[in-house]
Amino acid sequence: MQKTTHLGKRRKIIDGLEKVTGSAQYTADLSLAGMVHARPVFSLYPHARVAAIDAGAALALPGVIAVLTGHDLNHGRVAHSRPNMLLALDEVIFAGQPVAVVVADSEATATDAAALLDIDYDVLESVDDAVQAMTDELLVWPQGVPSAGASMASLHGGEAGAGTGAKLSNIDERRVTERETLSPHWKAPTS
């Protein structure tokens, strides 16, 4: 058996002093020439139709470069699942789904412009618990069960619902994702 030289022994933290004194440089501390900042705007509703997005006030703010929506970034794809879309297109399918992104020359300007974005929603019926989700397939998959290559079904190696006759199948999926940030300046989204 090979003897290790590191296990069970103290080791010096190379950047410990900088972190304790507050002088460590993090990603959020970077400022590069030409750098822009993006601020997403999140849906407050679990299921709603996006009736209109008025970006006029946000775009009028000095320093705002662009306001991007799903029509700018999704290239016509329909959302069947959370990981499928960058931004909601015409309908949000979960609370907190990004609906638009404001791009500006500073973080403060992007935040201010995001607050000025006027989004009109037509609130739709939503599935609020697991029991309702098991009994109401129409609300769970409003565009129909995804086909292979269209969404999550491709992760499972075939056509969702194939071979089940008229009964739609459920796709069981478990994902574990850790959220990490090396920046002490990161704040959770509030809107």
Distance between CA atoms of residues 1 and 185, nearest Å: 45
pTM of the model: 0.62
Distance between CA atoms of residues 46 and 131, nearest Å: 17
- Looking at domain 29-124, which CATH architecture does it have? Alpha-Beta Complex (3.90)
**Does the pLDDT at position 182 exceed 80?**
no
What is the residue extent of each domain of the chain? 29-124
Identify the bridge partners of residue 103 per DSSP, sorted by sequence position: 38, 66
**Does the pLDDT at position 189 exceed 70?**
no
- H-run or E-run covering 47: none
Residue 66: alpha-carbon gap to chain centroid: 19
Write the pLDDT tens digit of every residue in 1-16. Answer: 677 777 778 877 888 8
pLDDT of residue 136: 64
- Say how many C-beta atoms besides its own lie within 10 A of residue 151's C-beta: 22
Write the pLDDT tens digit of every residue in 110-166. Answer: 999 999 999 999 998 887 777 877 776 666 665 666 555 554 544 444 444 455 454
- Beta strands at 91-92 and 118-123: parallel, antiparallel or unpaired: unpaired
Nearest to 100 by CA among 74, 63, 62, 126: 74
Distance between CA atoms of residues 64 and 84, nearest Å: 27
